[in-house]
Structure 1
Amino acid sequence: MIDARQRNTALLVAGCFFMENLDGTIVTTAAPEIGRSLGAPPTSVGLLVTVYLLTLAVLIPLSGWLTRRFGNRRVFLSAITIFTLASLGCAAGGNLGELLALRVLQGVGGAMMVPVGRLIVVARTEKRDLIRITSYIVWPGLLAPVIAPLAGGLITTYISWHWLFLMNIPLGIAAFGVAWRLIENTGTTAPPPLDRAGVLLTCTGLGGLTYTAHLVAETTASWTVAAAAGAVSLALLVAAVLHLLRTPHPLVSLRPLRTPTYRATETGGFLFWLVVGAAPFLLPLLFQTQFGWSPVKSGSVVLCVFAGNIAIKPATTPLIHRFGFKPLLIAATLGVAVTMAGLGLTTAGTPLPVIAVLSLLSGVARSVALSGYGTVSLSDIAPDQMRDATTLGATTQQLASGLAVAAATVALRLGERFGGLLPGAPSRTAAYTVAFGLLACVALGATLSALRLPSQAGDSLRRERPVTDPPGGGAGGSVAVTRGSLPGSGRRQPQSAPPDGRFDRP
């Protein structure tokens, strides 16, 4: 039974999740205005999103080690403080360099804030209450991307982009006050030795990869320099992987990737997150810089992507039970590929309802796929590897989200270079047509990964159909038949499906 303290703690973590998720998405709509204010191109402003999300991805694995070393309460309160003060610094930033440094600091706070908060909540929750307690945490966070495009447009148009960060101040102060009363201090234990080599190789490699994407996005950057930076970054990441596989206490354990289902879904999920994270960055740029729309109109249309995401949520679990994970992942990834290509073909003369419907359908397909990836990936993981698999999945998700904006800028740069090769008369939107076409190809890569899944993948998590007990078979009524029967049982037993969208962050 969930008591009042557990519920309030879960709602506190949900509020922190909302702040973190909102901060990762709201800047995209305001990128052109921030760029004009700071004298930087909009594509370079995309680094404000990239460095924030990449910092989250790099430092999330450290959160578990830090809690064992310093305790839940101290780490959680410190995370809220860092995030809030960094938000204040972002609002006061005078140039792009300062803003980027402070966004990294925000990411440091966010990387500890939500994972540690989830750990605090789950540690005091019995298994039978996990679905309910998870819903408290997840659903408020899902609202952030829904309101971010329109909120960003309204704030940028009628107030100032600085308020994108200033509104975190009262939220952070309130969260700190509630956490001070609710979060109990836990004893510290001796953690395993910190994988310093893993931290160094991983952080340097990912930072170099981000810088490479920044060079490619810059119109004046040399392709030779960008290629050299990219090669060095990839070499560092390869060395990081080799190190993580060999060290006894890695920063991120890669051993769960030996499970075929997990490996296929993590690979496909990574590609898919690149696409769905890049689209909300490219769409406002297309609408504002090429169609001439205001930030409010642009944000309202981008809102359709996330409205589709939320609207399909109640039907996602029944669809999984009815059709299975593999068919739905194939259909959803194909749907995103088609809608990305369709959005790339739109122009300023395309009827607004057509653009809105394409965006809505893209959000529907995105939601179904992310829910599927979040549940089926753990279906075949052994219990002793569940912690490692969960940590690696969260890190991979954040990494893909961070690289998504970088991938979008690279795709747009390639579109500017090769857009003139498209058939027909030259178009102002040719670069975006190429960029969205490249994203569609990446989505097809996720489709190929889904095709490699075994047909029965995730069936242990599904209910097949209700059946009625035979006469004299005990209590009347029906039970949900599952593929996960208990050993030695003569009949299949009821089994709860995992929470819908358990790891889904749109």
Structure 2
Amino acid sequence: MSDHRGIALIVASALFMQNLDSAVLATALPAMARDFGEDPARLGAAITSYLVALTVFIPFSAWIADRFGAKRVFMLAILVFVASSMLCGRAQGLGELIAFRVMQGLGGAMMVPVGRLLLLRGVAKKDMLSAMAWLTMPALLGPVTGPPLGGVLTDYWSWRAVFWINVPIGLIGFALVAWKIPHVPPTRPGPPDLVGLGLTGTALALLMFGLETVGRHVVPGWVSWLSLGLGLATGALAIRHCRRVKRPAVDLSLFSIATFRDPAVAGSLFRTGAGAVPFLIPVMLQIGFGMSATQSGFVSFATALGAFAMKPLVRPVLRRGGFRRTLMVNGVLAAAGIGALALVTPAWPSVAIFLLLALGGLARSLQFTSLNTLAFADVPTERMSAATALYGTLQQLTPALGVVLATGTLEVSLGLAGREALLPADFSLGFVVAAVVVVLSIPLHARLPADAGAEVSGHRG
């Protein structure tokens, strides 16, 4: 096994833990809502609070990894993630859970982009697709095993157990990193752009707070709209600042690289639409169709199973079609797979739902892997820290927007129908809206050169 494969597998242990955490939590949300006496749609805050924390803290990860050494930061991040998972398992209400999920997001913000940086800094362009495949395939075991495991733990123990399983996984990953990954000496990145980091973090936090609370009656309506307005204004100041300083917190000049810009912009639209699906499916199966958490978990894990099955096929598909054609054609298939979920009713047999979810997982997996590989295809090694931080921020922000999109659509559907209880028709609207957002990403890929990322994909037209 080559060095890049070994490092990829070890780094993937952290991604496995994070992905498992997200998958089991989605399955446990209805049980948590009953325990806390909250509406299931409001429990989406348990997911978005973590994703928002990731988004806010990830810009810090590039400077911290350079200043203190990527391996050391990666190990500390694993310990923070494990400790906060234990606290989440002891939460007594939604407020406490959100606070501990924010702490968990701090660990994840340092863990995932820094882990990717450990891998990508030393891998040749021709090995990048292989390295990303080795990185993501073990990580996909989290979504594959998460839904059924989350259902079993919730039904036979407690939803609290879905957080406790991170403890042994995290400790094993910590030991493997300490043992096998070479030391990465710190560098002298210069002083951090504290103004840029502060403006960026504040803007993201205000925007996500506003999106998460608007129309929910959690806070007065004017507070949500004020938060959105201040977030947009602060974001504009952050962009202006980062364009003017020498070492910005967010390196916006990376958008001049076409193969980075497309996964960042078009990929963000795709990830937002696709990010609504993991939230909608388990809630629909349990609240809308009356399944238990265990039944829901064993049906919904089909999505991740399809995603896992696609991974060995990514290389030959990209070699034959190239990045541009693959992203455009497969984007249509991914949107169709999401939209088809709007047709599902409680009368459908579980096997039919399983097959539809698995097919959708195939298409979304190919799109995710293509975007995530293309993003770093032409980034110079010396700018890889900035690229992993910026792309990692977008990667985590967009699934949070996807959950907000899903919960917001459910709230609007309930309001229009004048009902208080969710019905299957509400979820159908959610899948239609998510599919439309994915469709919007497809034309943007046409701007890519025909040979974009050819050195990585092996496609020669």
Displacement of 1:458:
3.6
How far does residue 328 in structure 1 lie from its aligned partner after superposition? 2.2
Is it true that 1:171 corresponds to 2:169 in the alignment? yes
Name the residue aligned to 2:214.
216
Q: Look up the equivalent residue of 2:84 and give its one-letter code.
A: A
Q: Is the 8 A contact 1:339 1:362 kept in 2?
A: yes
426, 434, 441: which one pairs with 2:429? 434
* Amino acid paired to 1:231: G
Give the whole-Å Cα distance in 2 for the aligned partners of 1:156 and 1:361.
27
Give the distance between the partners of 1:74 and 1:378, measured in 2 at CA. 23
The equivalent position to 1:355 in structure 2, one of 353, 356, 363, is: 353
Relative distance call for 1:461 and 1:181 in structure 2 (3 A) is: closer
1:50 to 48, 51, 60: 48
Q: How many angstroms apart in 2 are the aligned matches of 1:19 and 1:384?
A: 29
Correspondence for 1:38: 36
Higher deviation after alignment, 51-60 or 434-443:
51-60
Separation in structure 2 between the aligned mates of residue 461 and residue 80 of structure 1, nearest angstrom: 30
CA contact (8 A) 1:2 1:129 kept: no
For residue 439 of structure 2, the aligned residue among 419, 435, 444 is: 444
Name the counterpart of 1:476: none
1:270 corresponds to 2:268: yes
**How far apart, in 1, do the equivalents of 2:455 and 2:178 lie?**
41
Question: Per-residue displacement from partner, 1:473-501 (whole Å, max 9, x unpaired)?
Answer: xxxxxxxxx46xxxxxxxxxxxxxxxxxx
Match of 2:411 in 1: 413
Cα 1:368–1:420 change in 2 (3 A) is farther
| Matches of 1:251 and 1:303, distance apart in 2 | 38
Q: 5+ residue gaps in structure 1? A: 465-481, 484-506
Task: Tell me the equivalent position of 1:149.
Answer: 147
TM-score by length of 1: 0.82
Residue 448 of structure 2 is matched in structure 1 by: 453
User: What letter corresponds to residue 167 of structure 2 in structure 1?
Assistant: I
CA contact (8 A) 1:54 1:403 kept: no
Deviation string 1:377-425 (CA, Å, 9 cap, x unpaired) is: 445556665554343222211221232212211222222233589xxxx
TM-score normalised according to structure 2 size: 0.90
Matches within 5 A, 1:91-110: 91-110=89-108
Q: Which residue of 2 aligns with 1:498?
A: none
CA distance in 1, matches of 2:367, 2:440: 14
Which shifted more, 286-295 or 403-412? Answer: 403-412
Which of the two has greater helix per residue?
Answer: 2
Deviations 1:352-372 (A, max 9, x none): 343223212211211121222
- Tell me, yes or no, if structure 1 residue 367 matches structure 2 residue 365: yes
User: Secondary structure in 1 aligned to 2:214?
Assistant: helix
Give deviations 1:279-313, integer Å, cap 9, x for gaps.
01011111111111111121122112112212222
Aligned-residue offset at 1:178:
4.1
2:234 to 233, 236, 241: 236
Q: CA deviation at 1:452?
A: 3.6
Q: 2-side partners of 1:354 and 1:134: how far apart? A: 32
Equivalent residue number for residue 400 of structure 2:
402
What are the equivalent positions in structure 2 for 1:279-290 lying under 5 Å apart? 279-290=277-288
**The 10-residue stretch of structure 1 (67-76 or 19-28) with the greater mean CA deviation from structure 2:** 67-76
Gaps of 5+ in 2: none
User: What fraction of aligned residue pairs are identical, expressed as a percent?
Assistant: 35
Q: What corresponds to 1:22 in structure 2? A: 20
The letter for the 2-side match of 1:400 is T
User: Residues 218-268 of structure 1, C-alpha deviation per residue, up to 9 Å, x if partnerless?
Assistant: 256555443332222222222222222222111121112123443233211
The equivalent residue for 1:247 is 245
| Secondary structure at the counterpart of residue 324 of structure 1 | helix
Using a 3 Å threshold, how does the CA distance of structure 1 residues 310 and 179 change in structure 2: closer, same or farther? closer
CA drift of 1:439 comes to 0.9
2:389 maps to which residue? 391
How far apart in 2 are the matches of 1:47 and 1:124?
Answer: 37
| Aligned 1:299-378 pairs, distance under 5 A | 299-378=297-376
**Could you tell which deviates more after superposition, 141-150 or 344-353?**
344-353
Q: How far off its partner does 1:184 sit?
A: 5.8
1:209/1:65 Cα in 2 relative to 1: closer, same or farther (>3 Å)? same
Kept in 2, the 8 Å contact 1:212–1:227? The answer is: yes
- Structure 1 pair 455/134, CA: closer, same or farther in 2 (3 Å)? closer
Q: Which amino acid aligns with 1:451?
A: A
Q: Secondary structure at the match of 1:45?
A: helix
* Paired residues of 1:44 and 1:214 also in contact (CA < 8 A): no
Q: Counterparts in 2 of 1:172-187, with a 5 A limit?
A: 172-182=170-180, 187=185
Structure number with bigger Rg: 1
Q: Which letter does structure 2 place at the counterpart of 1:352?
A: S
Q: Distance in 1 between matches of 2:159 and 2:173?
A: 23
Equivalents in 2 of 1:412, 1:101: separation in Å? 25
Aligned residue pairs, count:
460
CA distance in 2, matches of 1:259, 1:350: 46
2:442 alignment partner, SS class: helix
**Contact 2:273–2:436 (CA<8 Å) still a contact in 1?**
no
SS at match of 1:306: helix
Equivalent runs, 1:419-498 vs 2, <5 Å: 428-463=423-458, 482=460
Amino acid at match of 1:450: H
